A and B are shown apart, each in its own frame.
Chain A
Amino acid sequence: MNNNTKFDLGALLNIEGATVFFAVAVLILFSSIFAPSFLTPENISNVLVQSVFVVILGIGMTYVLISGGIDLSVGSAMGLAAAVCVYCINAGLPLPLALLIGLATGAAAGFVNAYLIVVLGFADFIATLGTLSLMRGIVEVMTASTRLNSKNPEFMFLAGGSLGGIPFAVIVALVVAIVAGVILARTTMGRAVYGVGLNPKSSFLAGVLVNRVRFSVFVVSGLCAGLSGILLASRLSSVHPAMGTGYELTAIAAAALGGASLSGGRGSVLGTALGALFLAILQNTLSLMSVNAFWFQIITGVIIVLAVLMDGGVRRFVAQRARAA
């Protein structure tokens, strides 16, 4: 215990998200060496915007995962919120109202999940698998006959414009991350989310409103999916039938890289955001290096497994040091 002056690796690694932070740093180093165009301002801006969708989606997922649940429907919720939003814009609604309706669509998707799971008692995996399919179907119906395009310049500004040199979408993601991170880490609501994920029985008997917490996290997740979907639609200036497909898995991967546990109780917004950033940089670097896109899947898979292994190793190391001290 007398190593105040010494470099305390254990204490440093114990900081939430430290492992993924090192991983991002190493990857940036690697990328700047092997992909010379990586460090150009345009590319950095591009990577950041590319990461925004998974960052926001992953934040909602982090809430759900920490509470001990899982939400497989977020990719479809993205598509649905985007489709509804663009549909409203094309129908001539004012942009703010259309955006609000898009966000409300995401929240409503989360509400349906929450109702199925918390009130009707469905297993979260099954319930959100069901709404995944259901919402994907609606998106396909909405986009099949009429193409949903929007060249509305204000709408396209969301993911295409920038303020003071910083892409607007990145600013949105930053604000969301800070608000969500502070709520999770500092408020009574955030504390309850961890408690419910670590031990719902004990938390319930101690006076935590477990059902309210479990309900809220799914609504948060749906809301994040809605926002992420709207930004993606703005980026693509259209909504295609498969938009958002597979994003739920990328969001889970980002959260897992960031230290979230699929069995609940562990994770952080910062960790997930860094996890999403890591995946975006990796994809960007591989494409700059002209590596076949299929390799991205393989490398991502390997890295996730390694990261989870390493994270476990780091935690055992920290725990051992704590015991020895």
Chain B
Amino acid sequence: MKPAQARAAEVRPHLVEVRNVVKRFPGVIALGDAVLEIRPGEVHALLGENGAGKSTLIKLLNGIYQPDGGTIFVNGVDQTIGGPREAQALGISTIYQEHTLAADLSPIENIFLGRELKSASGLIVDRAAMKKRAETLWSQFGGDRRDLGRPVAELGGLKQRLIEIVKALAFEASLVIMDEPTAQLPDGERALLLAHIRAMRDQGVSVLLVTHRLDELAGTVDRVTVFRDGRWVGTMPMSETSVDDIIHKMVGRDVGSMVAAAARDADQPLDDGAPEVLRATGLVRRGVLHDVSLTLRAGEVLGIGGLAGSGRTEVARALIGADPIDAGTIWANGRQVSPSSPADAVKAGIFMVPEERKTQGIVAGLDVSRNITISAPNKVAQSSFIQRRRERQVAAGYVKELRIKTRSPAEFIENLSGGNQQKVLFARALFSDPNIIIVDEPTQGIDVGAKTEVYRLIRDFVARGRSVIVISSELPELLGLSDRVMIMREGRKAGEIAVPIGAASDQAAMALLQRQVMALATGGKIEQQH
């Protein structure tokens, strides 16, 4: 299962070569016999489900971990990498998934943080030199030099990502490792970031890209390496493989098309006479939402699309009373409601599984069972006294039903993988027994296997005559799950598209629907580019 030695010798010497590296932690082998070869000037994707060993490998390349066996060659030389600074000295820079920029500092200050250029005397920070260097690099990314003087917090997500790249390049990196660089970006900005990554490659910088979004591989990535359960599975040129083949290697079983898995079965069509369970008319939140109306029927999945910042999430927050509204009415299950907090929405039968699982979803520090029951603790309590035994039983039931991988319901939730945390949040939603669940970016940062399970949960929920609102930046996911998609633009409803049954398995139909969504989301700008 190793790349042929002969083939390795034919090509140019590798920039970085990881050979048979082993990394053990108490009780687990995080990496066994890992192999990775990165050529100069290529975009190389490192793929695998959560727990496949990708993060461990990155930390080894950064010197945060030391290998228990095997060798890491940089430019053909056996290297012991003692830490991130030594990695940088060897030309390896890493951009982590979590933003690491200091929000109140300017891009220039961020780029040179802790490594300020000094004047000849070595005592004074040479601002002019830093500014010049930053401007040169920033202009390569088509950036406006005025951006460099403002606090990073005032720049958008894409620009922040680009600043992190500039920060990596400012110190002559020959390999930039990027961990999920597009995770928080809307589609338009994602395409731009990928274009910048290709431009870096064309200038001779190698990029190791870690991503869960397989749709961004084609056209950007030269080669892919797949890991599964801490082991190397394969390395192949992107031109000789397909997304389906990659998924197959990642999960070790055939999942078929992800999107088709998410879609409504043709033999379970939406009942035309199904009653309306939610209606909102004229929702206004000054400066955020302008006259937004929507309806949702029993058994239906309504998608809300649009660019990040278009008001998608804000519609959901208004519906559950997380943000106050200035005007508008909401009817849920035939009754007018005016939720002043999510607690009211829970009582009205509406529950939201929010985006940004770590900061808005899980309560780290509480165990799995307490994370589940937090939405309706009275259901496991008798006159306000929580009955721990009943609580554990309830949690154990969900752990089994939703196949949540945890040692026990008493495990702290932060010790679970992202996909399993998301399943716990679904259990939390189900426990409050709503008939409407709103899911915001339900598969953000979770692996392929967990994604299909989340899709299955949504399908099962609506199959019981209940309803779901899905908010997603991933168009195939949005269109695959929804019966109907409403598109937001600048706080307004830009339009609505019905998704015909069976469209998810028809590539041409999906492509057309995606173009329609993007056209509505951007006001037609994308359409002109095509």
Residues on A lying within 8 angstroms of B by beta carbon are 186-189, 191-192, 194-195, 198-199, 201-211, 265-266, 320, 323-325
Contacts and interface: CB of A to CB of B under 8 A. Distances in A.
Contacts of A192: 377
Contacts of A265: 365
Interface in B42-98: none
A38 to B, nearest CB: 39
Contacts of B365: 194, 198-199, 265-266
Given A194-B366, A195-B363, A203 B322 contact: no
A206 B26 contact: no
B376 interface: yes
Interface string B23-46: 001110000000000000000000
A189 B376 CA distance: 12
A267 to B, nearest CB: 12
A110 B117 CA distance: 53
Contact of A198 (B345, B360, B364, B381): B364
Interface residues of B, number: 33
A206 B27 CA distance: 34
B343 A208 contact: yes
11 contacts: A187-B384, A191-B377, A199-B364, A201-B360, A205-B342, A207-B345, A207-B376, A265-B365, A320-B26, A323-B25, A323-B26
Contacts of B346: 207
A252 to B, nearest CB: 20
Nearest to B354: A205
A324 B354 CA distance: 32
B375 interface: yes
A211 B374 CA distance: 16
Contacts of B370: 191, 195
B354 A189 contact: no
Contacts of B363: 195, 198-199, 202-203, 206
Contact of B360 (A194, A195, A205): A205
B361 A202 contact: yes
A189 B361 CA distance: 20
Contacts of B359: 199, 201-202
B432 interface: yes
Contacts, number: 82
Nearest to A190: B386
A323 to B, nearest CB: 6
Contacts of B381: 187-188
Contacts of A324: 26-27
Given A188-B377, A191-B386, A199-B364, A207 B26 contact: no
Contact of B432 (A187, A207, A211, A320): A207
Nearest to B359: A201
Given A188-B386, A191-B386, A207 B364 contact: no
A142 B26 CA distance: 64
Interface in B374-400: 374-378, 381, 384-386
Contacts of B341: 204, 207, 209-211
Given A186-B385, A187-B384, A188-B381, A207 B322 contact: no
A323 B27 contact: yes
A323 B360 CA distance: 25
Contacts of B428: 206
Interface string B342-364: 11011000011010000111111
Instruction: Determine chain A's interface SS by DSSP, over half rule.
Output: helix
A136 to B, nearest CB: 35
A203 B365 CA distance: 12
B360 A207 contact: no
Among A188, A189, A266, A325, chain B packs the most CB atoms within 10 A around the CB of A188
A163 to B, nearest CB: 29
Contacts of B376: 207
A207 B386 contact: no
Contacts of A206: 342, 363, 374-375, 428
Given A195-B363, A204-B322, A186 B386 contact: yes
Contact of A195 (B25, B322, B374): B374
Contact of B343 (A187, A207, A320): A207
Nearest to B429: A206
A325 B27 contact: yes
A204 to B, nearest CB: 6
A209 B341 CA distance: 8
Interface string B213-253: 00000000000000000000000000000000000000000
A80 B432 CA distance: 44
A325 B343 CA distance: 38
Contacts of B386: 186-188, 191
Contacts of A201: 359-360
A138 to B, nearest CB: 35
Contacts of A209: 341, 343
A188 B27 contact: no
B407 to A, nearest CB: 8
Contacts of A188: 377-378, 381, 384, 386
Given A187-B385, A202-B359, A202-B363, 6 more contacts: A188-B377, A198-B365, A205-B352, A206-B428, A207-B346, A207-B432
A224 B334 CA distance: 46
A6 to B, nearest CB: 18
B298 to A, nearest CB: 22
Contacts of A325: 27
A207 B25 contact: no
A198 B362 CA distance: 10
Contacts of A202: 354, 359-363
